[in-house]
Structure 1
Amino acid sequence: MGRNQCTGRVPDSHLHPLDRGIGERHGAGTMRDDHHIPGDPEITGHALRYLTEDAECMVLILDHEETIMYANRYAEAVTGIPLSGRHLQTLLLFGSAGNTDTRSVLDKWRNESPPHLMNIRTADGRPLSFQIHLYHTRRCHLIFGQKDSTGPEVLNREILGLNQELTTITRELNQKNAELAGLNEMKNQFLGMAAHDLRNPVTIILLSIDLLLDSVPDDDHSDEAQMLRGIRRAAAQMSQVINDFLDVSIIESGQLRLNIREVDIPDMLEHVQQNLHPAAKKGDVTMDIVLDPAIESLRIDGGKIEQVLTNLGSNAIEHSPSGERVIIRGLHGKEEIRFQVEDSGAGISPEMQRELFSPFSGSRRSKRGGERSIGLGLVISRKIVEAHGGAMYVESEPDIGSTIGFTLPYSVLTNSQDNSQDT
């Protein structure tokens, strides 16, 4: 084979599909249609086949509408999707290019020195970066590209920096949490001591007033008698607040103890009704118990659950108009027991429902007489129920009434043993 034969023009019939119609590179980013490839056409064919089938580089041919006419095997493998017939716009991530359409991107690349950064989106949504060269003819655009090797390095440096920042922030948060835990412990100790010191004098006040009221007839409506009864109500309310503070301090310090026993549920609900009878009578509210006959006994801390139901019933009475009805209901479900208290009050707004079991939320909810509660009763109730493995819930509609209750799962009730448990 002579020298001239090796440098002659390659007939179109011997050209690879990638080679036909593209032409030789001519000038900056352009190619001539009168394409001459030096060397043996067979060698040229092998080179083009390697480029399109085996090389780890992206090859794309676009028409002038930016539709992909051809994509080599590597391009489709790395993106995970068939590319032929797709518009380039479906492949590009425009945020990194600073443009919003493919025509602007291609124009930008033509006016800049290669290589250009092309960010694409794979089938599973992952971004990939390529360093590419762009060539164009009158008939098409040709894109050659390789994965951007600097991208992972930059990303790794950024991740390392973020990890260091996260470590510093975590260390500072742990320090702040330790400080807050110490302050919270001091608060609980102070709360417990203050409540304990206040309870004794309030108890003496209550006993003294009760002795005085024993000599006052029920039909005595003199100013002195009314004053004594008012002092009695205020002292009783203060005693309840003090007891709530003591309960909160015990719960927050992690010293809540459950005395799990087999409890007769009808008897427990009868005690709750007796506890609530004076308040119901005073408020002219009817108090009813509705219990599923299948609920006979449960392994619970009877005293604590009675405290929860008494608190819920007391709240329902306080927020019910005179002449209305409050129901304490026990429901037997497939996976849990439900106890709930239903009233016909003004209802609870959605905003207040979200905060109902948070400390001091009750201070924003008025009772029937307009007075405010400190809002610890529901917090204590929630802690007791959660210690039993249950959960509180609330359902309410404006001007119709509210239902506040709790669940006790069978998985906890059946596994409970007769003993005292710290929670």
Structure 2
Amino acid sequence: MLKYFQDDAPILYFLLNEGGVVLSINKYCRKLLGANIVGDNFEELLVDFQQSFTLEKYIHKSDTHHLLHLNIPNSLPRSYLFTFRRVNDAILVFGKSDAEELELLRSELLRANQELNNLTRSLQKKNAQLAHLNSVKNQFLGMATHDLRKPISVILTYTEFLLDETSEQLNSEHTGFLNKIENSALFMKRLVNDFLDVSAIEAGHFNLNITQVNPAEILEKSLVSARIPASKKRVDLDVKIQTGLSQIPVDADKIEQVMSNLIGNAIEHAPLGTTVCVALQETENKILFSVEDRGDGMSREAIKKIFSPFSRSSSTKTGSEKSTGLGLTISRKIIDAHQGKIVAESEEGRGTCFIVYLNKK
């Protein structure tokens, strides 16, 4: 009888010791699982989805068939009906296929596959709808912000004219009104420009004009516009530029936008009378641009969100300056488009440092 099971029958046969270790298997079992399972624990051959298998429990139910799943090498698990019987100091385990159970499993798999296909089609349809809505949103945002540029420019132009030409004829209260109008218009101009940048990036119209440029020249342009707000807040700019920097392939205007944004951001968070450190240096493969302030700093949680759209850092702007919450998002997208990297390092109470890595080739 045992010889029949061991040699010819398409039935699984295992001989186990009391600890559940496989001592012997039949030919069909060896073909299915491999001869190297001898010496393994029987439990290790199973795919126990419910983590409920114990050999002792099944031995006590020797007249019952148990549906178990075998882990088949290089294939999907297969289900068999097993019986367990104790013979002297050994345990005999027999397994056979159950056609009815296999058909049930096949039906379940087909139904699950059909449901998955339906969900996939539904998801693709919703993704297409979202992509269309996002495109419409970007188009509307671009048109709206573009149309806002002209009236904002008119407000700024006439406000500057009134401040320059009539400052001696106006009292301090009226001059203050004009300054508030100018500051609000400048903020609105930055807001419009940021929205236009974001809509262009999301619409896939973010094209780079790559040329070979000396990064020191880009930084010098950025510092020109940064020195005025720094002077108003009595913030010193400590600039260190390594001599003999290599030229790098970048879009000069976009990188100037990043540098101006980071320097301006540092000035806004710097306490009055402190120093903002700006550095530009070269390594073997990279150009490193860094900006560091002595502001409140940020927590680790805030740092994780700092490049997200409309995020607000936990640190306070010392001059109560307004911002769109898009500057750092745009900066990161610009650096990503250059295959570079931008990181933020901060410690609460000790300030924040932004570092930009740009490739030399």
**TM-score, normalised by the number of residues in structure 2:** 0.85
Counterpart of 2:56 in structure 1: which amino acid?
R
Structure 1 residue 160 displacement after superposition: 3.0
Residue 16 of structure 2 is aligned to residue 101 of structure 1: no
**CA–CA distance in structure 2, aligned partners of residues 254 and 86 of structure 1:** 57
Counterpart of 1:57 in structure 2: which amino acid?
I
Aligned to 1:24: none
Structure 1 residue 315 displacement after superposition: 0.7
Please, which of 178, 183, 193 is the counterpart of residue 233 of structure 1? 183
In structure 2, the gaps of 5 or more residues are none
**CA–CA distance in structure 2, aligned partners of residues 164 and 124 of structure 1:** 25
CA RMSD of aligned residues (A): 3.2
What SS does the corresponding residue of 1:361 show, helix, strand or coil? coil
Please, which of 27, 36, 52 is the counterpart of residue 6 of structure 2? 52
Contact in 2 for aligned 1:344/1:401 (Cα 8 Å): yes
**CA–CA distance in structure 2, aligned partners of residues 185 and 226 of structure 1:** 42
**CA–CA distance in structure 2, aligned partners of residues 86 and 234 of structure 1:** 76
Structure 1 residue 307 displacement after superposition: 0.8
**CA–CA distance in structure 1, aligned partners of residues 66 and 352 of structure 2:** 65
Aligned to 1:257: 207
Structure 1 residue 374 displacement after superposition: 2.0
Contact in 2 for aligned 1:80/1:122 (Cα 8 Å): no
Residue 195 of structure 2 is aligned to residue 245 of structure 1: yes
Aligned to 2:354: 404
Counterpart of 1:240 in structure 2: which amino acid?
R
Aligned to 1:136: 86
Contact in 2 for aligned 1:362/1:372 (Cα 8 Å): no
Aligned length: 360
**CA–CA distance in structure 1, aligned partners of residues 99 and 172 of structure 2:** 94
Q: Percent identity?
A: 37
**CA–CA distance in structure 2, aligned partners of residues 65 and 349 of structure 1:** 55
**CA–CA distance in structure 1, aligned partners of residues 53 and 128 of structure 2:** 49
Contact in 1 for aligned 2:292/2:352 (Cα 8 Å): yes
Aligned to 1:17: none
Aligned to 2:127: 177
Aligned to 2:144: 194
What SS does the corresponding residue of 1:374 show, helix, strand or coil? coil
Where do 1:280-295 residues align within 5 Å? 280-295=230-245
Contact in 2 for aligned 1:362/1:376 (Cα 8 Å): no
Contact in 2 for aligned 1:329/1:341 (Cα 8 Å): yes
Structure 1 range deviating more: 330-339 or 78-87: 78-87
**TM-score, normalised by the number of residues in structure 1:** 0.74
**CA–CA distance in structure 2, aligned partners of residues 384 and 67 of structure 1:** 61
**CA–CA distance in structure 2, aligned partners of residues 190 and 65 of structure 1:** 72
Counterpart of 2:95 in structure 1: which amino acid?
G
Please, which of 283, 293, 302 is the counterpart of residue 333 of structure 1? 283
Please, which of 342, 345, 367 is the counterpart of residue 292 of structure 2? 342
**CA–CA distance in structure 2, aligned partners of residues 290 and 99 of structure 1:** 67
Structure 1 residue 294 displacement after superposition: 4.7
Structure 1 range deviating more: 168-177 or 325-334: 325-334
Please, which of 329, 337, 342 is the counterpart of residue 392 of structure 1? 342
Aligned to 2:15: 61
Contact in 2 for aligned 1:265/1:298 (Cα 8 Å): yes
Structure 1 range deviating more: 121-130 or 181-190: 121-130
Structure 1 range deviating more: 356-365 or 396-405: 356-365
Please, which of 315, 320, 324 is the counterpart of residue 270 of structure 2? 320
Aligned to 1:40: none
Contact in 2 for aligned 1:366/1:373 (Cα 8 Å): no
Summarize the Cα distance change of 1:85–1:359 in structure 2 as closer, same or farther, 3 Å threshold: closer
**CA–CA distance in structure 1, aligned partners of residues 197 and 49 of structure 2:** 57
In structure 1, the gaps of 5 or more residues are 1-46, 415-423
Contact in 1 for aligned 2:239/2:278 (Cα 8 Å): yes
Aligned to 2:67: 117
What SS does the corresponding residue of 1:175 show, helix, strand or coil? helix
Counterpart of 1:130 in structure 2: which amino acid?
Y
User: Larger C-alpha radius of gyration, 1 or 2?
Assistant: 1
**CA–CA distance in structure 2, aligned partners of residues 372 and 152 of structure 1:** 67
What SS does the corresponding residue of 2:208 show, helix, strand or coil? strand
Summarize the Cα distance change of 1:216–1:365 in structure 2 as closer, same or farther, 3 Å threshold: farther
Contact in 1 for aligned 2:248/2:359 (Cα 8 Å): no
**CA–CA distance in structure 2, aligned partners of residues 145 and 128 of structure 1:** 11
Residue 212 of structure 2 is aligned to residue 274 of structure 1: no
Structure 1 residue 271 displacement after superposition: 0.9
Counterpart of 1:352 in structure 2: which amino acid?
A
Where do 1:367-378 residues align within 5 Å? 367-378=317-328
